[in-house]
């Protein structure tokens, strides 16, 4: 249930409500808004009825949460959540552009790409050190070495690093380097991984599962939020449909849907969403027009030679052109960052 406290409720009244809920076995999450405080209480409603809680001092009203996800719902947290990443904000006024190679292939490849995407206007660097590949015979990533290169690229460019963690046992290692932990599509419902990643307190980029409904996606986010980590960024990356021309079907309708249902920021990955280079820029423009808080774009110095996802990767010039093309859309939405002033 959601407990909306009165605007003038005292600290003692708030604590009184929390104590009572916890005594009845509820887990209480606090959402401190500008105007008022909202408590999200998850537990057995037969032990404490909504009416009883509504009668406690300082309580304005109690609303049952109808959706299966609670902490991810807008009812619990009416204001947009802003996720802070190394001085940047995802879900705020400014759009964030995450760019970089699908996989970290070598020190030279990563450093060259990092410098190029930064120069073009990217605000964060992506690159997989551990790669989830559909075939066990495909390039699996440079693992620990890849993480070292990512750390060096961050040092040189100042760009925060987004990289995937594929396994619960790797969470500590990857979190030691990453500014944002990416949970890939194939792992969206790896609940033990979601919990372990959530426990690090790091921002988590949660990609939508290949065939996940919006509800399943938000329930996956709920696992992270339930660990006390509210720094979740959702990423629409296309879903499986009957269409085979594109690698996936980029579901841009998920952007306004998620924004309606949830307070979490949502970004779009048109690279995996289409699988085709020429479609990346148009769908990036469409994503921002639909209200996305950011983009994730695969960029490679020489896509023809990429060890993974070359056909959807842009070269640095194409990425720079994409950034120039989205600029008027960002400006129209009032979402250009400081660095874009000139
Ligand atoms: C990736 O971002 O490189 C990736 C593997 O994405 P997804 O999990 O969306 O397939
Ligand atoms: Mn990829």
Q: Find the ligand nearest to 205 CA.
A: 1
Predicted local distance difference test score (pLDDT) of residue 338 = 73
CB 3 within 8 A of CB 65: no
Residue with CA nearest ligand 1 atom 1:
102
Question: In the prediction, which pLDDT does 341 show?
Answer: 57
Measure 102 CA to ligand 2 centroid, in angstroms. 4
Tell me the pTM.
Answer: 0.94
CA of 27 relative to ligand 1 center, distance in Å: 33
CA-proximal residue: ligand 1, atom 6 (nearest): 184
Q: What is the distance in A from the centroid of ligand 2 to the CA of 311? A: 10
Q: Which atom of ligand 1 is nearest to the CA of 237?
A: 9
Q: Which atom of ligand 1 is nearest to the CA of 185?
A: 8
Give residue 91 CA to ligand 1 midpoint distance, Å.
21
Q: In 3D, which of 231, 148, 220, 159 has the Cα closest to residue 184?
A: 220
Give the atom of ligand 1 at the shortest distance from the alpha carbon of 269. 9
pLDDT at 223: 98
Ligand nearest to the Cα of 308, by number:
2
First to last CA, the chain: 48
Task: Specify the pLDDT at position 342.
Answer: 46
151-161 as b/e: b if 16+ CB within 10 A: eebbeebebbb
Give the atom of ligand 1 at the shortest distance from the alpha carbon of 187.
Answer: 8
Phi-psi domain of 201 (left: phi exceeds 0; alpha: psi -120 through 50; beta: other): left
- Are the CB atoms for 171 and 181 separated by under 8 Å? yes
Ligand showing the shortest atom-to-Cα distance for residue 126: 1
- CA-CA-CA-CA torsion sign (249, 250, 252, 257): positive
Q: Whose CA is nearest to atom 10 of ligand 1?
A: 185
Nearest Cα residue to 125 out of 136, 111, 139: 111
What local confidence, expressed as pLDDT, does residue 202 receive?
98
Longest CA pairwise span in the chain (Å): 66
Residues at CB less than 6 angstroms from ligand 1: 102, 128, 132, 184-186, 207, 237, 272
Cβ atoms of 174 and 128 within 8 Å: the answer is no
Helix-helix angle 316-332:107-120, to 10 degrees: 30
For residue 333, the model assigns a pLDDT of 85
Helix (H) or strand (E) holding 164: strand 161-164
pLDDT tens for the chain, 342 residues long, are 999 999 999 999 999 999 999 999 999 999 888 888 999 999 888 889 999 999 999 999 999 888 999 999 999 999 999 999 999 999 999 999 999 999 999 999 999 999 999 999 999 999 999 999 999 999 999 999 999 999 999 999 999 999 999 999 999 999 999 999 999 999 999 999 999 999 999 999 999 999 999 999 999 999 999 999 999 999 999 999 999 999 999 999 999 999 999 999 999 999 999 999 999 999 999 999 999 999 999 999 999 999 999 999 999 999 999 999 999 998 888 888 777 654
* Residue identifier of the C-alpha nearest atom 3 of ligand 1: 102
């Amino acid at each position: 249930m959601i407990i909306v406290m009165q605007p003038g409720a005292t600290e003692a009244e708030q604590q009184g409500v929390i104590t009572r809920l916890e005594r009845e076995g509820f887990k209480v999450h606090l959402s401190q808004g500008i105007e008022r405080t909202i408590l999200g209480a998850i537990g057995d409603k037969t032990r404490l009825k909504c009416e009883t809680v509504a009668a406690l001092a300082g309580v304005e009203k109690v609303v049952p949460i109808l959706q299966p996800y609670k902490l991810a719902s807008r009812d619990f947290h009416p204001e947009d959540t802003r996720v802070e990443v190394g001085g940047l904000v995802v879900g705020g006024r400014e759009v964030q552009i995450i760019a970089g190679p699908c996989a970290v292939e070598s020190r030279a490849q990563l450093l060259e790409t990092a410098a190029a995407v930064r120069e073009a206007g990217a605000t964060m660097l992506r690159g997989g050190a551990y790669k989830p590949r559909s075939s066990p015979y495909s390039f699996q990533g440079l693992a620990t070495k890849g993480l070292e290169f990512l750390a060096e690229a961050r040092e040189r460019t100042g760009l925060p690093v987004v990289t995937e963690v594929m396994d619960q046992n790797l969470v500590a290692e990857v979190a030691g380097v990453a500014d944002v932990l990416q949970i890939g599509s194939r792992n969206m419902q790896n609940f033990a991984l979601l919990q372990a990643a959530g426990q690090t307190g790091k921002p988590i980029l949660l990609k939508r599962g290949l065939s996940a409904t919006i509800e399943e996606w938000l329930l996956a986010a709920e696992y992270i939020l339930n660990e006390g980590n509210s720094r979740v960024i959702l990423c629409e990356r296309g879903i499986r449909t009957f269409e085979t021309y594109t690698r996936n079907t980029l579901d841009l309708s998920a952007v306004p849907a998620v924004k309606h249902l949830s307070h979490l920021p949502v970004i779009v990955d048109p690279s995996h969403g289409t699988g085709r280079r020429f479609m990346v820029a148009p769908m990036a423009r469409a994503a921002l027009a639909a209200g996305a808080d950011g983009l994730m774009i695969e960029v490679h110095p020489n896509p023809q030679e990429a060890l993974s996802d070359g056909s959807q990767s842009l070269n640095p010039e194409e990425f720079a052109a994409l950034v120039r093309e989205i600029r008027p859309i960002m400006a129209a939405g009032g979402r250009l960052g400081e660095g874009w002033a000139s």
